[in-house]
């Protein structure tokens, strides 16, 4: 790639990471989706999946190291906290906040894909960026990046209880406050079978406590349960 083509990536690195890449191709590759290579086979040969593989391992090690050295909880609790930090939604949101989406190279079809597919691409790119930083600057700088953009969310995750399985937690809360077991009902199904979106509501008694949507009923139920937990939290503050 020419200097003019690589300049936006170097500008992004300078602004967001605070350094320039000696090998800017690492960052470009980290932000290259497989679909782009398929459309540009003559000029591009490498996508970000190998860097994603590396970055995923670095991310998990940094998070595990932090949790192990700063908390005394048992392995099962720490595993749940780690899962909440590194799940697709968390790292996809971190990628969106960083603002690299305009730099992600993907096919025309992927650009027009669903929000779910977009979030997955941003999450994969985030892990690939970690891999690129690790190769360019080493473990310490990769750890700084992960602490700033991922581990910094731990306090809010613990405060909200979102690290717990939302459905199990909601059942405990609803039985404690209302002596009722939550019931999940499909409100709407949108789209073709291969890309369906489910919208569900969770009811405690006759009251709709929360709604959620997702590519499966299980995902929608978790979102609805989380919304209901937030409703209970608000109610507790006003009681």
Mean pLDDT, rounded, of the chain:
91
Q: Which residue has the higher pLDDT, 3 or 38?
A: 38
Give yes or no for a contact between 238 and 216, defined as CB atoms under 8 angstroms apart.
Answer: no
Q: Which residue has the higher pLDDT, 229 or 130?
A: 130
Q: Which residue has the higher pLDDT, 88 or 179?
A: 179
- Indicate if the pLDDT at residue 161 is higher than 80: no
For residue 16, what pLDDT is reported?
94
Give yes or no for a contact between 198 and 213, defined as CB atoms under 8 angstroms apart.
Answer: yes
pLDDT in tens, 175-211: 999 999 999 999 999 888 877 899 999 999 999 999 9
* 56 given a catalytic annotation: yes
Q: What is the pairing mode between strands 207-214 and 197-204?
A: antiparallel
- Residue with structure tokens 């320039």? 20
**Cβ neighbour number for residue 188 with a 10 Å cutoff:** 12
Q: Choosing from 127, 141, 193, 206, which is the catalytic residue?
A: 127
Query: Cα(first)–Cα(last) distance of the chain, in Å?
Result: 62
Q: Which helix (H) or strand (E) holds 160?
A: helix 154-160
Measured CA angle at 156 (ends 17, 223), to 5 deg: 105
Task: Find out if CATH 3.30.70.20 is the number for domain 3-160.
Answer: no
Q: Report CA 81 to chain centroid distance, whole Å.
A: 14
For residues 117 and 115, give the distance between their C-alpha atoms in angstroms, rounded to a whole number. Answer: 5
Using pLDDT thresholds of 50, 70 and 90, give the confidence band for residue 2: low
Give yes or no for a contact between 82 and 68, defined as CB atoms under 8 angstroms apart.
Answer: no
Highest mean pLDDT out of 49-53, 88-92, 170-174, 226-230: 49-53
* 189 given a catalytic annotation: no
Q: Choosing from 15, 56, 96, 206, which is the catalytic residue?
A: 56
- Residue with structure tokens 């609803």? 174
Using pLDDT thresholds of 50, 70 and 90, give the confidence band for residue 89: confident
For residue 219, what pLDDT is reported?
86
Nearest to 150 by CA among 59, 70, 226, 69: 59
pLDDT in tens, 10-40: 999 999 999 999 999 999 999 999 999 988 9
Percent of all residues in the chain with a pLDDT value above 90, rounded to a whole number? 67
**Class for the domain spanning 166-238:** alpha beta
Domain regions of the chain by residue span: 3-160, 166-238
- Indicate if the pLDDT at residue 3 is higher than 60: no
> At residue 105, what are phi and psi to the nearest 5 degrees?
-90, 120
């Amino acid at each position: 790639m020419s200097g003019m083509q690589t300049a936006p990536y170097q500008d992004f690195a300078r602004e967001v990471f605070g350094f320039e890449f000696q090998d800017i191709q690492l960052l470009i590759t980290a932000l290259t989706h497989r679909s782009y290579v398929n459309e540009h086979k003559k000029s591009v040969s490498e996508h970000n999946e190998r860097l994603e593989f590396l970055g995923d391992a670095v991310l998990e090690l940094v998070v595990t190291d932090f949790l192990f050295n700063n908390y005394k909880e048992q392995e099962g609790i720490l595993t749940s906290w780690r899962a909440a930090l590194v799940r697709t939604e968390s790292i996809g949101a971190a990628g969106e906040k960083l603002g690299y989406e305009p730099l992600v190279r993907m096919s025309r079809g992927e650009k027009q894909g669903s929000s779910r597919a977009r979030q997955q691409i941003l999450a994969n790119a985030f892990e690939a960026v970690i891999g690129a930083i690790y190769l360019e600057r080493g473990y310490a700088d990769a750890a700084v990046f992960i602490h700033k953009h991922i581990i910094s969310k731990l306090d809010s995750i613990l405060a909200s209880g979102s690290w717990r399985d939302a459905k199990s937690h909601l059942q405990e809360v609803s039985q404690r406050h209302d002596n009722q077991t939550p019931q999940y009902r499909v409100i709407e199904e949108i789209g073709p079978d291969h890309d369906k979106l489910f919208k569900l509501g969770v009811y405690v008694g006759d009251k709709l406590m929360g709604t959620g949507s997702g590519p499966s009923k299980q995902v929608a139920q978790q979102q609805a349960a989380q919304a209901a937990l937030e409703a209970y939290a608000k109610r507790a503050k006003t009681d």
